[in-house]
Structure 1
Amino acid sequence: MAGEKKDDPGPSVKDPELYEKLRDEGNSKEKSARIANAAAASSRSEVGQKGGSSPAYEDWTVEELRGRAAELEVEGRSSMTKDELIEALREH
């Protein structure tokens, strides 16, 4: 379609400008859409302050990391090292 960007997020993304910025930074389409929509629902400055606190992935056990990776359906998680699991979870 004429005038559409290659990575056009479609009508479900509420803040296309932020979505494109996040995609340019290397974030996945899913993660970018989630953040852009959360920012549109409140304000961009509040998005990073929402939610509870959680220890850094480095403080998690490999078993805990694999459990979280299973929830997110990360492929190949059973053979990943702790560092690989952390990277995969951060990229998801």
Structure 2
Amino acid sequence: MPEQDDGEHEFDLRWADAATHKEPSARARMLAARWKENPPEPVPFRADPGPAARSRSSWLSTALVLGCVIGVILLLGYVRFQAPY
């Protein structure tokens, strides 16, 4: 098997994952430096929801959809009735 230069070796992901020391990402380093001087304020796990927006009731939406379906069925029936064979 011929010798290969270091640049020609295929990157082995398993070898990289098994490394004992992993360098943090640039974003992690940036946030660590920023938070060292100005730490973020604590945030609750789930914030209290604000007032809920009033939505239309489900029966109104159902009636609208059924009305549209019935209108399309009637329109298609009318077009077919009017078309000569």
TM-score relative to the length of structure 1:
0.17
With a CA cutoff of 8 Å and minimum separation of 6, indicate the structure with the bigger relative contact order.
Answer: 1
Greater Rg over alpha carbons, structure: 2
